[in-house]
């Protein structure tokens, strides 16, 4: 018998009802300030993921060990940011209500706000761990309060002081760094030093993990809208993902892959591998 040609991410073959972990694409890049293109990430990741194996030698585990579901891509209104965020929030809420872990594929980083709105409603004591080259702490950007350059500030509006842990940060304007230094957020510049201590502090707390893939060095991951030299290696990011996976991660995302800027396809392959390792790490524990 023939099967319908439905392309899911590698190893995400379960039915929704059986699944514990649900990925979906949020192909939105309307507020991108420099180079758009992240709207294509989830589709290209699905097709390129088949260049990977389902088995992770790092974790001695296989995507097929778990019940994983790929919910496809949301249809988002490009001209209407608030409406796009609402749709992401609604979809995330549904997955949480069904007692599953949502994992969104961006899109530009602003999509995280929609998902965090949903998760923070269910978990008012939510903490956010952000891996990123950029602070994303601007109060507004080019007169826009909703932007990939303001997303973490908008999340701070929701959660308040002491709830956001940033790692790998190496870009932002001076006021952003000064604001962060007033203890509004915890910021580790340049690398993942101290992540183990954060994990100790957040034991038992609900955590949202957001991975802006531009935390990686552009030599590893050139396919992104605002590449920033001086980033971490793939192995450092993998180690960081494994370190935080011991926490109670109630939702997560990977964002800011912009495949068109990397003709070699390496960035997409890296993004797929990050997602594989993340899915295995969260489901394994
Ligand atoms: Mn970001
Ligand atoms: Mn970034």
Domain map of the chain by residue range?
16-284
Reduce the DSSP state of residue 186 to 3 states and report it.
strand
What's the pLDDT score for residue 34? 78
Mean per-residue pLDDT for 78-83?
90
Dist. CA 271 → ligand 1 center (Å): 15
The second-level CATH assignment, the architecture, of 16-284 is 3-Layer(aba) Sandwich (3.40)
Euclidean distance between CA atoms 157 and 79, whole angstroms = 24
CB atoms within 10 A of CB 42: 26
Alpha carbon of 62 to those of 24, 68, 111: distances in Å?
Answer: 20, 11, 28
Dist. CA 80 → ligand 2 center (Å): 22
Question: Which H or E run includes 90?
Answer: helix 81-97
Dist. CA 64 → ligand 2 center (Å): 31
Contact 69, 170 (CB under 8 A): no
CB atoms within 10 A of CB 101: 19
Beta bridge partners of 167: 131, 188
Ion ligand 2: residues, Cβ under 5 Å = 132-134, 212, 214
What's the pLDDT score for residue 142? 85
Q: What is the DSSP letter of 182?
A: I
Euclidean distance between CA atoms 97 and 101, whole angstroms = 10
pLDDT per residue as tens digits for the range 186-217: 999 999 999 999 999 999 999 999 999 999 99
Percent of the chain with pLDDT over 90: 92
CB atoms within 10 A of CB 73: 18
Euclidean distance between CA atoms 88 and 147, whole angstroms = 15
Ligand closest in space to the Cα of 111? 1
Alpha carbon distance, N-terminus to C-terminus of the chain: 37
pLDDT per residue as tens digits for the range 120-170: 999 999 999 999 999 999 999 888 899 999 999 999 999 999 999 999 999
Contact 283, 21 (CB under 8 A): yes
Dist. CA 196 → ligand 2 center (Å): 22
What's the pLDDT score for residue 32? 78
């Amino acid at each position: 018998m023939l099967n319908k040609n439905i392309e899911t991410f590698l190893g995400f073959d379960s039915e929704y009802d059986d699944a514990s972990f649900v990925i979906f694409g949020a192909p939105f890049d309307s507020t991108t300030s420099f180079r758009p293109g992240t709207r294509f990430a989830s589709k290209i990741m699905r097709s390129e993921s088949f260049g990977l194996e389902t088995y992770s030698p790092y974790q001695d585990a296989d995507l097929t060990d778990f019940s994983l579901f790929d919910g496809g891509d949301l249809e988002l209104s490009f001209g209407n940011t608030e409406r796009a965020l609402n749709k992401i929030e609604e979809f995330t809420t549904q997955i949480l209500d069904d007692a599953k872990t949502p994992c969104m594929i961006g899109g530009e980083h602003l999509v995280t706000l929609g998902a965090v709105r949903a998760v923070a409603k269910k978990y008012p004591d939510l903490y956010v761990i952000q891996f990123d080259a950029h602070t994303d702490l601007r109060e507004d950007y080019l007169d826009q309060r909703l932007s990939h350059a303001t997303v973490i500030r908008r999340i701070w509006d929701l959660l308040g002081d002491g709830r956001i842990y940033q790692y790998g940060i190496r870009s932002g304007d001076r006021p952003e760094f000064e604001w962060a230094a007033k203890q509004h957020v915890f910021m580790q510049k340049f690398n993942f030093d101290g992540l183990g201590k954060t994990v100790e502090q957040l034991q038992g707390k609900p955590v949202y993990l957001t991975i802006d893939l531009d935390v990686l060095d552009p030599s590893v991951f050139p396919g992104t809208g605002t590449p920033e030299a001086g980033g971490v290696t793939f192995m450092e990011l993998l180690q960081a993902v494994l370190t935080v996976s011991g926490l109670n991660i109630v939702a997560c995302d990977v964002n800011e892959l912009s495949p068109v800027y990397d003709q070699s396809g390496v960035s997409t392959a890296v993004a797929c591998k990050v997602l594989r390792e993340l899915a295995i790490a969260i489901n394994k524990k």
